[in-house]
Amino acid sequence: DARVTQTPRHKVTEMGQEVTMRCQPILGHNTVFWYRQTMMQGLELLAYFRNRAPLDDSGMPKDRFSAEMPDATLATLKIQPSEPRDSAVYFCASGLVGGDRVGNQPQHFGDGTRLSIL
Amino acid sequence: SQQGEEDPQALSIQEGENATMNCSYKTSINNLQWYRQNSGRGLVHLILIRSNEREKHSGRLRVTLDTSKKSSSLLITASRAADTASYFCATAPIWGNNRLAFGKGNQVVVIP
């Protein structure tokens, strides 16, 4: 079965350090999503890309977070500088979406990066 | 943003019993999706039901949608220990950017 692959699975670092999370979407999927999951807030959409172009990053703190897709097989989410409140599980998901209606198809999730900022 | 809200939030049942979860939402939707999340893993898509559909089946799963009451239910029949997981509903609104909005999830424990 095709899968979304995320690395690293776990990351522990100190406040102020740069954190980069990577995602390999399912081959052929044209839309990539980044989510953050916490106990308090649940699952929040941070940003998503269509055909590698950023479509919406309104859920992301702009001053410290950035998301890119250097090529069709790699999406990255970067936090610089990191803060303790960024501790969460970060999920990447991909899907094959037609048109602008990103919610009309299933999304396929990776197993996440569990991030702890000390 | 609109979110689904699952009820009950935690459910504990014996293996072989049926488990029913409900999801309510507030605005008009294009579709509603159910996902499962096992501990330490990502979400897995289970079923998508469109706003013009009332019921859908997949194996031991049955999903209903009542758009007049803005609610959906997920029924797992003949539950197994492997069904122990959190179950999320997600709604895709008709208007705006149509992004999926996830509920907080139901935790289901199936006791062998």
- Higher-scoring residue by pLDDT: A108, B4: A108
The nearest CA of chain A is from the CA of B110 a distance in Å of 22
Rounded Cα distance between A33 and A95, Å, is: 8
pLDDT digits (tens, 9 = 90+) for B8-40: 678 999 999 999 999 999 989 999 999 999 999
Q: How far is CA A21 from CA A1, A9, A78, B93, in A?
A: 23, 9, 6, 29
Please state the rounded mean pLDDT for residues B71-85: 96
Categorize the per-residue pLDDT at A90 as very low, low, confident or very high, splitting at 50, 70 and 90: very high
Categorize the per-residue pLDDT at B7 as very low, low, confident or very high, splitting at 50, 70 and 90: low
pLDDT digits (tens, 9 = 90+) for A32-44: 999 999 998 899 9
Rounded Cα distance between A65 and A50, Å, is: 19
Query: Helix-strand-coil percent breakdown of chain A, rounded to 5?
Result: 5, 55, 40
pLDDT at A76 exceeding the cut of 80? yes
What pLDDT does A72 receive?
A: 92
CB contact under 8 A, B48 and A106: yes
Residue A91 host element (H or E): strand A88-95
pLDDT digits (tens, 9 = 90+) for B84-109: 999 999 999 888 777 899 998 989 99
Q: Is A57 on the interface with B (CB under 8 A)?
A: no
pLDDT digits (tens, 9 = 90+) for A44-65: 999 999 999 988 888 898 899 9
Which of A56, A91, A102 lies nearest to residue B42, judging by beta carbons? A91
